[in-house]
Amino acid sequence: MKTALLFMLTALAEIIGCYLPWLWLRKQGSPWLLVPAAASLALFAWLLTLHPTATGRVYAAYGGVYVCVALLWLWLVDSVKPSRWDLLGGGLCLLGMAVIMFAPRSN
């Protein structure tokens, strides 16, 4: 549970860090949006260091959680309800994440 929460916080920090510059560039937002965006991306990088396993494994598994958090963002922020195909894809990504992160290791 702790790993899943950490992955979700990491994904949220990355999405916010990318969304704010998008608002600035595409929606004529204030350039001041870049300040919290940079802070959010720094938080994202720091959160990745808190995961207890090898970085390559963390990055691979993180991608699955990122996809699902992005679909949640699509629904809650962009007001677009994910389709059943979005949900199926997100579920497959989570399954892949679980295999990568929680498989028995012999080291």
Q: What residues does each domain of the chain span?
A: 2-101
Taking the model in full, what pTM does it have?
A: 0.83
Other Cβ atoms within 10 Å of 90 Cβ, number? 19
- C-beta of residue 94 within 8 angstroms of C-beta of residue 65: yes
Q: What is the pLDDT of residues 88-101, one digit of tens each?
A: 999 999 999 889 88
pLDDT for the residue 107: 65
Q: What is the pLDDT along the chain (107 residues), one digit of tens a residue?
A: 688 888 899 999 999 999 999 999 999 999 999 999 999 999 999 998 898 777 788 888 888 889 999 999 999 999 999 999 999 999 999 999 889 888 888 86
For the chain, the distance separating the N- and C-terminal CA atoms, rounded to the nearest angstrom, is 23
